[in-house]
Structure 1
Amino acid sequence: MAQGHSPSDTSGARRHDGDGPRPTSRDVARVAGVSQATVSLVLGDKWRGRVSEKTARTVRSAAREIGYRPNLAARSLRLGRTRTALLVVPALTNEFFARVYTGAASVAADHGFGVVVYPSPDISTPAKDPFASASAALDGIIASSMAARSLTRLRGADLPLVMIDSDPAERGAAAHVNLDIADGMHQIARHLLGLGHRRFLHLASAVESWTFDVRARSLGEALGAVPGTELRTVHSPLDVHRARETVSAALAGPGPVPTAIVCDGDTLAAGACKAVRRHGLRIPEHVSVTGFDDLSLASALEPELTTVNLPAERVGERAMSALLAVLDGRAPVDGDLPVQLVARSSTAPPHRP
């Protein structure tokens, strides 16, 4: 196969701007400097082992540059596929899952796939099934463990399922794509212990999910290994107002005030910060607060929030790539995605009266 070059020579290639004839695979081949056969292999996702990865990138870049879109209807008839994946998430109003979608859609677009989003409105109940026949409308499903109950009506569709942020021991999924959540909570614990904190309040999510179970267990293990630490846990829905109420009640209760509040998410941390201030305390002088997610909210708070950055786009990219691998009969990439503590000004050594 001819090897590609940088798609810079676009002379004679049609660019599609909404008017006029649509670019063809011949135009893509001309821009990429490869044969039409190579274009067909790459855009048909059959290039592995036959075309170099560099050439595949060149072809996809050329296709994007001139606005080429394959005839998916004709291709679907040939391949027996709809080239559509379903992404099941709690809600796109959650920034993390919006970023997961962005990553999945990016990889899907490079392979001529589309991604349909299936949000569960309140996490706890199944969303309305948008398909009369999921198996006829879809090639596969990517789902978050937080929205697993929404899969009830789709599990009988006999479609490949990729689970994200879910128990890898759970059976029924063709692949699991996880973040190293345990290490993220260990990083928070080491950070706070290193600052000298020993009295902790864990503001845990009230949502029943594997990812939150891991956070609670990992925090308990990390703090329990250090003599003299105290850990109290309270639960709250993933809502700023409810988190504020929960932490306010904990701070007003008996016993000494914690010097650090560890929150299962940045949204919970925002509520915790409100409660601390309403209790007449300052952050971080009197109480340190940490989050988990590194949403835009984390840097909008004052002081800015110490949290754990979760590469949500990479989760979506890895999940879509895993689904494509399963559909192609290949083994998906294994291993958890790393996470990173982002230390900001909401944490400091505990206050010494």
Structure 2
Amino acid sequence: MPEPAAPLVSVVVSARGNTQNVRNLLDALAQQTLPAAQLEAVVVDNDPPGPIRLIAEAVRDGDWPFAVRVLYEPTPGLSAGRNRGICAARGRYVAITDPDITPEPAWLQTLLDAIKKENVFAVGGRTTVEYPGGQVVALTKALRECHGAVDWPGGREVAVWPYWVTGCNLLFHRQTALDIGLFRTDLGRRGRWMGDCEDLEFIDRARQAGHQTLIEPAAVASHPVYRPETTLRYFLRQGAGHGVCVARMHLSVIVEPAAIQAGREAVHAAVINLAAGWTFLDRSRAVEGARDLARIGAYHLERGRLRLLGRRSIGLAQHSPTKESPAWT
């Protein structure tokens, strides 16, 4: 029999231990205004090795109007799972998202319209964060930004500071991504380690190679954040993971100063927040200060470790790179 026609868009999702969320995401994709014939879903099972593959079983029982493929990636980590799916995707464009994301019906079509009209490498949509169980700590803006971008433009804008894309709501040209290198596997969430920045580094590396990314705020998807992710313990772990990942970004991209914020002024501000928060019983401010100190400390420790290993950064944002960024696959 002849091979089926390649889809226009491959939606790649890496899942680990969230079987029901995968089904919910596929149900939401079935409601997209983009014709089902132009779409495929590539679900990457990133669960630990074992005789029972729950994700594959859950998907096998579904009946969706588009092709669904399930792959297995034994290497733990969000980036490893996504890379496996991108390499196997058949679409000209790849949209990456997460199992617990709920996209609006026009999500994919809106991203496609933008990337075609503007002729850019990638387009990121607007991700709205919801707190269905409430918050343990009343979140400041800085703490809410730990769960995703807070500021969004009113219309299409270039994805540069103060705006940034989120990895659960991003569409890009597959072949260009393969050419510049996919997500770094030493960045991003991996098991219980709360890494991140894999999407930020990917887009920064593409931009520094001459490929532009836009934000299209009309492409909306929602992301739930639950109470355990609003505790002091969570923010300390998140801050430490973020600091490590920003330090590692120096190996492949020119990091914007706004993404670092680890100098003396930042330390002073964090200490003031922590002290003022405890003194005036402002728990939110104290948590923000503690999280910043964890982030800054982890950043400098990781930079020191990398220097001891002979891993050299490629420069700071005020300078031009002196060599090509390596491809990370």
Using structure 1 for the length normalisation, give the TM-score.
0.23
Question: Which protein, 1 or 2, shows the higher relative CO under an 8 Å CA cutoff with sep ≥ 6?
Answer: 2
Q: Which has the larger radius of gyration?
A: 1
Using structure 2 for the length normalisation, give the TM-score.
0.24
